[in-house]
Amino acid sequence: MASRTRKKRGFPLFWFLYGIFVIAMVIFWVRAGIYVKKCLVRYEASQPRNAMDAILVDFKQRGMDDYMSIEGEISRFETEEQFAKEFQGRVKGKILFYGQAKGFQDPAAPKYELFADGDPVGIVTLKETSSEPAFLNLLTISQWALDKVEMPSVKGEKSFRVTVPNSCKVKVNGILADERELTGDEEMASEFAYSAAYVEVPKFVTYEASGLLETPKIEIFDKDGAPVACDFQEKNGVTTASLKSFEESEMPSDLAEMVLENAERYTNFFSADLTGSKASTAPIRDMFPSDSYYLDLADTYRREDMWMYSDHGTPTFKNESVGHYVRYNESFFSCEVYFEKEMKLTKTGKIKVDVTNFRLYYGLLDGKWKIIDIVTLLTGEE
């Protein structure tokens, strides 16, 4: 019997290659899964809300002074630092959390609303510091940092209301108040009622503002820039002052001489010691405006009452003084004059003393100083 030779059959190449393919695919998908997971983890970690969590921790530890910005207008009498201080007071020691800000969101600058114990206190804006594509450019891995914290312009509960002459300047926290703070109310002192017909007289104006965070420091300066003392009061958060007096200053000697000479001449008219005083008001007319009420009074007295004045010798003036000089503006001033006019009566030889104490208001009319009003402060005689 012939022997048979059995042919060996080898492992099929198909299955070999198929096995390699399966193994490669398993490795590929495992690696792909790991890659995708890594990308998704990185993507999730790069979300702005995660940056906000870290920022919130930093807020609690170090505060947010370096990132503060004011949204809207603030009082021009206070600084952003004061408003930032107020903001810090609103969040200090409170539980901070955040939520998505309402309205349109810029993907490159996401915004979150910041809450302190449930009360909204500001808007936090983030900024993208870096980015890179991932997972076939389908995802973007971003890094975020704090850009700014916008706090609304906080309205404080402090205010002020100050009334001063319109020649004065008012400074609030070192800043000059102007027409923006004027209320529009103007008041004229009754003592200037007659003078106002001839010259510009001072009026009292009122400055006010509200919404201040702190009690303001208020300073008042006269027309020459000198500080003026004033009594300030604060009640229920409102600082008030009413300055309705005027600062006195030193009177120029030539002006004082003119005033004293005019006052003596005026009183001499009424005691018939001026030549021509019984005939007309001409001896004193140059001291007054042509339509002055005081010329009318002098003319009435000349015609009706001058005869009653006792005959006497030449008067002498004693204890004369001119003071309490107030220069309201370039064309208006007042001062006070005092003197004792001593006269020896012809019939009895008795000494008669008239005491004169006037407040005189002068106006500069056509380049000359004229008496436009007279207030008698003290009258008496011996």
* Structure confidence at residue 2 as a pLDDT band (50, 70, 90): very low
Does the structure show a pLDDT above 80 at 181? yes
Residue 353 is assigned to a structural domain of this protein: yes
Q: Which uninterrupted H or E stretch holds 15? A: helix 13-45
Residue 55 is assigned to a structural domain of this protein: yes
pLDDT, position 7: 54
C-beta of residue 325 within 8 angstroms of C-beta of residue 335: yes
Does the global pTM surpass 0.85? no
pLDDT, position 342: 93
Query: What are the residues whose beta carbons fall under 8 Å from the beta carbon of 173, sequence distance 6 or more?
Result: 77, 78, 216, 217
176 & 261 share domain = no
Does the structure show a pLDDT above 80 at 39? no
88 & 102 share domain = yes
Number of C-beta neighbours around residue 261 at 10 A: 11
Mean pLDDT for the stretch of residues 87-99: 80
214 & 258 share domain = no
Give the structural domain span for 186: 158-242
Beta bridge partners of 142: 131
Give dist(CA 171, CA 345) in Å, integer.
Answer: 59
Number of C-beta neighbours around residue 113 at 10 A: 15
C-beta of residue 326 within 8 angstroms of C-beta of residue 335: yes
97 & 165 share domain = no
3-class secondary structure, 367: coil
Overall number of domains in the chain: 3
Give which of 65, 68, 237, 232 is closest to 155, Cα–Cα.
237
Sign of the torsion angle spanned by Cα atoms 56, 60, 61, 64:
positive
Give the model confidence (pLDDT) of 130-145 as tens digits: 888 877 777 788 888 8
Domain CATH for 349: 3.10.450.50
Give dist(CA 246, CA 252) in Å, integer.
Answer: 18
Q: Tell me how far the alpha carbon of residue 18 is from its chain's centroid.
A: 88
- The two three-digit tokens of residue 201, written as one number: 């007289």
Mean pLDDT for the stretch of residues 27-48: 79
Give dist(CA 27, CA 72) in Å, integer.
Answer: 59
Longest CA–CA span in the chain (Å) reads 200
What region does 162 belong to: left with phi over 0, alpha with psi -120 to 50, or beta?
beta
pLDDT, position 1: 45
Q: Given 118, 152, 186, which residue is the final one in a domain?
A: 152
| Lowest mean pLDDT segment, chosen from 5-14, 96-105, 214-223 | 5-14
Give which of 347, 356, 353, 352 is closest to 375, Cα–Cα.
356
Mean pLDDT for the stretch of residues 233-249: 92
pLDDT, position 35: 77
75 & 195 share domain = no
Q: Given 96, 120, 152, which residue is the final one in a domain?
A: 152
With a pLDDT cut of 90, the percent of the chain lying above it is 46
Stronger pLDDT, 263 or 91, i.e. the higher one:
263
pLDDT, position 382: 45
Mean pLDDT for the stretch of residues 259-288: 93
265 & 357 share domain = yes
146 & 176 share domain = no
pLDDT, position 65: 64
Give the model confidence (pLDDT) of 142-174 as tens digits: 888 888 888 776 678 899 999 999 989 999 999
* Structure confidence at residue 365 as a pLDDT band (50, 70, 90): very high
Residue 248 is assigned to a structural domain of this protein: no
Q: Looking at this protein, which amino acid is placed at residue 52?
A: M
35 & 147 share domain = yes
263 & 376 share domain = yes
* Structure confidence at residue 70 as a pLDDT band (50, 70, 90): low
| Lowest mean pLDDT segment, chosen from 19-23, 88-92, 114-118 | 88-92
Cα of first residue to Cα of last residue in the chain, in angstroms, is 185
Mean pLDDT for the stretch of residues 374-378: 89
139 & 220 share domain = no
Give dist(CA 159, CA 177) in Å, integer.
Answer: 13
* Structure confidence at residue 83 as a pLDDT band (50, 70, 90): confident
Residue 109 is assigned to a structural domain of this protein: yes
Stronger pLDDT, 344 or 8, i.e. the higher one:
344
Residue 188 is assigned to a structural domain of this protein: yes
Give dist(CA 142, CA 293) in Å, integer.
Answer: 88
Residue 64 is assigned to a structural domain of this protein: yes
Q: Are strands 203-212 and 158-165 parallel, antiparallel or unpaired?
A: antiparallel
Residue 108 is assigned to a structural domain of this protein: yes
Residue 190 is assigned to a structural domain of this protein: yes
28 & 148 share domain = yes
Q: Given 152, 171, 192, which residue is the final one in a domain?
A: 152
Query: What are the residues whose beta carbons fall under 8 Å from the beta carbon of 49, sequence distance 6 or more?
Result: 112
| Lowest mean pLDDT segment, chosen from 9-13, 87-91, 182-186 | 9-13
The phi and psi torsions of 69 (rounded to 5 degrees) equal: -145, 145
92 & 131 share domain = yes
C-beta of residue 334 within 8 angstroms of C-beta of residue 355: no
| Lowest mean pLDDT segment, chosen from 44-48, 239-243, 349-353, 359-363 | 44-48
Mean pLDDT for the stretch of residues 287-297: 95
Does the structure show a pLDDT above 70 at 354? yes
